Amino acid sequence: MRVGHGGAGSHGTRPEATGQFLQFVDVRKSYDQKQLIVKGFNLDVAKGEFITLLGPSGSGKTTVLMLLAGFEAVTGGDIRVNGASVTRMPPYKRNIGMVFQSYALFPHMTVSENLAYPLKVRGVPRAEIAVRVKEYLDLVELGEYGDRPPARLSGGQRQRVALARALIFEPSLVLMDEPLGALDRKLREQMQFEITRLHKKLGFTVIYVTHDQTEALTMSDRVAVFNAGVVQQCAPPNVLYEHPENAFVAGFIGENNLIPGKIVGVEGDAVRVALPGGDVVVARRADATLAGEACGVAVRPAKTHIAQAERPHDNRIHAKFTMRHYVGDFIRYYFELPDGSGITAKILNHAAAPRFADGETVSLGWHTADCHAFRTE
């Protein structure tokens, strides 16, 4: 099999990402010359990396993808591939593969004809086209479907055809814009695995856009979290989850309790925070650093424990029980703090999972390493 984007090894694993292959340098975009949709975007991408642009609708992530593809004009800044600017290069010269949510397959063509099309427009000889189409149909495990029209395929099969068509002319860079958004949960998970498998096997560079945080954390080498046209943090998934830099990232990536409080002391890399009702906790210092400053203490429900005497915690607070939800493999407990704000704990489901009366005061605990103090506006 001749496929081998980016020099994938014979053992079928993705090579280590190296060098500055793609660079965004202070990229800005405005549609009305007044309001910036993308505000000074900077990012270096190594060859072979899988980078996800993650954020809510309207945050600017898809606009960045369209700027890279050449479908939108850059207002300011520069985009470079292998050190050369592509900012003013037309889309057809950028040699970029694209996969869309809508599949964008030609309905009047068979699967094989859809795969052959990008090779034909590039003048690849007919004999080579036939060989390469067969290779890529086998690669996405659709070898027996070449003669079918897209309408006779399932959603997952059509997305695999779209993926094969984006890869068949061997681009070094592949852009994916919400490619799994039209699939149900089971198919999404299957296609996440499929895209990850092909990325590791072929070694191409991916810029992936989604609003689905689980998808981003599962598939990416790094994730750039967008909000209002600005990247809030760009880091590997585990760093985003365990060490968010601000309250937006903490709230957007996974579940988080954000408890209002005020800093009453600074102790190196930690701060002491007074919470409603008088409890004082110690949190890792994020962007809240000054004594007297209002802040929010972020601690994930899975790290929030129903405190027991035999299980000591760095922090312990008191809250009133309000509700209990059974969710299969875990149970979600809801509590209320003295100021009326809520806090949630996720406890693994087991026979001894506690039960409380409505309004009962319960001790909750967590460790300093599992919570962060963020500025609140």
Q: What is the pLDDT of residue 234?
A: 95
Q: What is the pLDDT of residue 332?
A: 95
Q: What is the pLDDT of residue 254?
A: 87
pTM: 0.84
Contact, 265 vs 292, CB < 8 A? Answer: no
**Distance, CA of 369 to CA of 377 (rounded, Å):** 24
- In a structure prediction context, what are the per-residue pLDDT tens digits for the chain, which is 377 residues long? 344 444 333 333 344 555 689 999 999 999 998 899 999 999 999 999 999 999 998 899 999 999 999 999 999 999 999 999 999 999 988 989 988 877 788 899 999 999 999 999 999 999 999 999 999 999 888 999 999 999 999 888 888 899 899 999 988 899 999 888 877 888 888 889 988 988 998 899 999 999 889 899 999 999 999 998 899 999 999 999 999 999 999 989 989 999 999 999 998 889 999 998 889 999 998 887 788 889 999 999 999 999 765 567 889 999 999 999 999 999 999 999 988 989 999 998 887 788 999 999 999 999 999 999 998 86
Cα 61 vs. chain centroid, distance in angstroms?
A: 11
Q: What is the pLDDT of residue 18?
A: 55
Cα 268 vs. chain centroid, distance in angstroms?
A: 32
**Distance, CA of 178 to CA of 286 (rounded, Å):** 31
Give all strands of the β-sheet with 305-306 in edge-to-edge order.
305-306, 361-366, 315-326, 330-336, 342-348
Domains (ranges, CATH) in the chain?
5-242 (3.40.50.300), 257-375 (2.40.50.140)
Contact, 282 vs 314, CB < 8 A? Answer: yes
Q: What is the pLDDT of residue 11?
A: 31
